[in-house]
A and B are shown apart, each in its own frame.
Chain A
Amino acid sequence: MPPELPASLVLEQLLNGLQFGLMLFLLATGLTLVLGIMDVVNLAHGSLYMIGAYLAATLIPHTGSFWAGALLAVLATALLGVLLEVSVLRQLYSRDHLTQVLATFALILVFNEGVRMIWGPQALLLSVPPELSRPVRLFAALSYSAYRLTIIGVGLALAALLFLLIHRTRLGMWVRAGASNRAMAQAMGVPIRQVFTLVFGVGAGLCAVAGALLGPILAVQVGMGEHILILAFVVIVIGGIGSVKGALVGSLLVGIVDTAGRAFLPMLLVRLAPPEVASNLGPALASVLIYLLMALILFIRPEGLFPARA
């Protein structure tokens, strides 16, 4: 290890954290809205991410273009989300959380087994689009992956679009009204049922965006949704359930704290503790860092950073 941390390495790790955080944001937005507005604990959210990635991996070779294939996959997953809401989720709104957890967990099993039957247990190939496979020189000392920069760009653009949608449109007003008080919003004439369906569809589409964009750097495989879903839940608990702003801040916090923890904590420990202790403690501490962060935030603000229901 170099004795001094080069600034370019710190910057690179921050970009890595930002990129990871923005992808978590795409997953967490749908999850937080579904939980906040519809009051449904949807464990099958990760399955939509998996299906988005599988559809992208299938459609991209067919269309011959990464972006066309990814777009089709996003639309198809959104449609699947709408169908899922109408057929299954709608039956669960009036049930308690335990029933919802059981039913949506069953959906995970159904989707995993379905994907395995259609595509097989082997991971699929999904490559970085060739035009983005070269690194870009940002500064003299730092060149960064063009593909990861694109992910950051798409993530930021979608975050901005969602903010406009939620804070500047009538639909967004309905969504916010539904999140803060569903019964009152319904009484005031908000077409809650249609809003639910739409929100679920958009959430599913955002999952597919994350699935398609992460596919080239992560394994497109059965079960890929579960690992990332746990992180998405951490994000929405930190950010406050039902809040898109909370999801954004939470995702960036989790992404950056996790990346920085893995990158710098072991280096720090090496200076503070004997080598054996540092080599055992470093990875252990880095891997629980985001959960420590969650515990800390819950201790200070039990409702999360930006609770939707004030």
Chain B
Amino acid sequence: MIRRWLAGIAAGVLALVVLPAGAQPRTIKIGFVSTLSGGGAALGQDVLDGFNLALRHLNHRLGGLPVEVIVADDQLNPDVARTAVDRMLRRDRVDFVTGIIFSNVLLAVGDLVFENQTFYISPNAGPSEYAGEQCNQFFINVAWQNDNLHEAMGHYAQLKGYETLFILAPNYPAGRDALTGFKRFYKGRVIAEVYTRLGQLDYSAEIAQIRAARPKAVYAFYPGAMGVNFIKQYAEAGLMQQIPLLLPGFSADADVIRAVGKPMVGVFNSSHWALELFNPINRRFVEDFRRTYNRIPALYAAQGYDAALALDHGLRAVGGDLGRKAEFRRAILLGFDTTRGRVRFNKNGYPVQNYYLRQVVELPNGEILNRLRGTIFRNHGDAYVSRCRLPDVRP
């Protein structure tokens, strides 16, 4: 009995010594699952580096609370991602999950996160499923809906008046969505719509077909290594100068430019973000990213940075109280300041924002990067939001 009292008193004294100012602040745990190995590793690394840079700028606090980030590699494998997310939710008890690059991986883990009433803050994957009927109150995408960049390029091709187009994508759901998005805004004649094997290495057969078909322009959606392969071979075949190649920003940002080099110069592409978007957040992000990681950030890095800013904004709005989930979501959807300026969101958690035209240029010092050339869409949402049955968010 005495011993128990003594233990209680000791614990009390200890608590007083350690916590002179009341309750200890809670640590926010973030589960960061991303593709960090294999052919998609450059994308995941960009998002992770952007996310970490934002945390550094926020003094390693989100909404004033200290942060712990648990990182896992999904190896672009839905099963691996599911195991990692399950462990994070149950063993590590993370408060938020973020980081996934590929839509097929996200679709495999989404239900796990949502059922646990945990928010998934997407820095990249934006499947149409979660934009329409299956939209979820625990899902927010800070980047775009999968179709958006393709829609922008389709609109550009339409404005530019290309009469005929040859369009290509890998044969998987996001590839089919991409060309659907493109055709939603391009009303000219699509002379060929080619779907290639996912992970295909050699595109000489398709390039020979393009040469024979003589379209006015080509649109190709190939992310990551496939993009590098396709663009290298398109340039090597000498077609860059003959038939304009239009690309979504994914296939024409710093990661691809670094691997393809000079042949990329002149290529037009679409993006929601650009290096020289004029706002203080973007300026600080770009300058510090280049200094810290010694490379030019691709759009993925900006998205990782914005994911951390979204968390910070939401947590600030609820004063760090993780129980106020609806208010957390509402605060983010009403808008916050990102690398693209202030962005607000639709009720399905997808952004309403501008989409820009960029062109790859070579600077006098030999650096090759994207330059802003104009705005394709203003305050553009996605095509699926009308099918989402969540309540509207109004200020």
Name A residues whose Cβ lies closer than 8 Å to a Cβ of B. 1-2, 6, 9, 12-13, 16, 19-20, 112-113, 116, 120-125, 127-128, 133-135, 145, 147-148, 216-224, 226-228, 259-260, 262-263, 266, 279, 282-284, 286-287
CB pair A122–B259 under 8 Å, yes or no, is: yes
Chain B residues lying within 8 Å of A226, measured Cβ to Cβ, are 38
How far does the Cβ of B150 sit from chain A's closest Cβ, in whole Å? 18
Q: Is the CB of A12 within 8 A of B208?
A: yes
- Is B374 in the interface zone, CB < 8 Å from A? no
Contact size class for B? 35 or more
Q: Which of B196-204, B308-316, B349-357 contacts A (4 or more CB under 8 A)?
A: B196-204
Partner of A221, one of B45, B236, B259: B259
Contacts of B363 in A (CB 8 A): none
Q: Does B371 contact A (CB under 8 A)?
A: no
Choose among B193, B199, B228, B262 the residue that contacts A227 (Cβ–Cβ < 8 A).
Answer: B199
CB of A6 within 8 A of CB of B194, answer no
Q: Are A16 and B192 in contact (CB under 8 A)?
A: no
In the bound complex, how far is the Cα of B288 from the Cα of A206, in angstroms? 43
- Closest residue on chain B to residue A287 by CB atoms: B197
Nearest residue (CB) in A for B202 is A20
Count how many pairs of residues, one from A and one from B, have CB atoms less than 8 Å apart in the complex: 131
Let me know if A121 and B212 touch, CB within 8 A: no
B183 to A: closest C-beta gap in Å: 13
CB of A251, distance to nearest CB on chain B (Å): 13
* Whole-angstrom CA separation of A224 from B193 in the bound complex: 27
Question: Is the Cβ of A123 less than 8 Å from the Cβ of B258?
Answer: yes
Partner of A125, one of B38, B199, B212, B259: B259
**In the docked arrangement, what's the CA distance between A20 and B201, Å?**
10
Any A CB within 8 A of the CB of B39: yes
Partner of A222, one of B38, B171, B200, B206: B38
In the complex, residue of chain B having the shortest beta-carbon distance to the beta carbon of A143: B238
Q: Which residues of B contact A (CB under 8 A)?
A: 36-39, 41-42, 44-45, 171, 191-197, 199-202, 204-206, 208-209, 212-213, 224-226, 228-229, 232-233, 236-238, 255-256, 258-262, 295
B196 touches A262 (CB 8 A): yes
Other-chain residue from A122, A135, A216, A263 in contact with B209 (beta carbon distance below 8 A): A263
Task: Give the distance in Å from the alpha carbon of A127 to the alpha carbon of B263 in the complex.
Answer: 9
Contact B42 A121 (CB under 8 A): yes
Contact A6 B212 (CB under 8 A): yes
- Find A263's partner among B205, B224, B232 (CB 8 Å cutoff): B205
Residues of chain A within 8 A of B36, CB atoms compared: 121
Q: CA of A2 to CA of B192 in the docked complex: distance in angstroms? A: 11
Q: Is the CB–CB distance between A222 and B39 below 8 Å?
A: yes
Supply 25 A–B pairs (Cβ within 8 Å), ascending by A: A1-B191, A1-B192, A9-B208, A9-B209, A16-B202, A112-B37, A120-B45, A121-B37, A121-B44, A123-B225, A123-B228, A124-B258, A125-B258, A125-B259, A133-B236, A145-B236, A217-B229, A217-B236, A221-B259, A222-B41, A224-B225, A259-B205, A263-B209, A283-B194, A283-B197
Q: Write the nearest CB–CB distance from B304 to chain A, whole angstroms.
A: 14
Beyond A124-B259, A127-B261, A134-B238, whether A221 also contacts B228 by CB under 8 A is yes
* Contact between chains at A147 and B197 (CB < 8 Å): no
CB-based contact B37/A135 at 8 Å? no
Residues of chain A lying within 8 A (CB to CB) of residue B196: 262, 283, 287
Give Cα distance in the complex from A217 to B261, angstroms.
12
A141 → chain B closest CB, angstroms: 10
Partner of A224, one of B37, B39, B194: B39
Select from chain B the residue with minimum beta-carbon distance to A16: B204
**Of A121, A134, A145, the contact of B41 (CB 8 Å cutoff):** A121
CA distance A135 to B261 in the complex (A): 19
Q: Which residues of A contact B225 (CB under 8 A)?
A: 123, 219, 221, 223-224
Q: How far is the CA of A200 from the CA of B256 in the complex (A)?
A: 34
Residues in B whose Cβ lies below 8 Å from that of A283: 171, 194-197
Residues of A contacting B208 with CB < 8 Å? Answer: 9, 12-13, 16, 263
Residues in B neighbouring A217, C-beta threshold 8 A? 202, 229, 232-233, 236
Q: How far is the CB of B323 from chain A (nearest CB, A)?
A: 38
Max chain B C-beta neighbours (<10 A), residue from A116, A223, A227: A223
Which residue of the partner chain B has the closest CB to A282?
Answer: B195
CA of A279 to CA of B169, assembled, Å: 13
- Would B229 and A219 count as touching, CB distance under 8 A? yes
Q: Which residue of B lies closest to A226 (CB)?
A: B38
The residue on B at minimum CB distance from A112 is B37
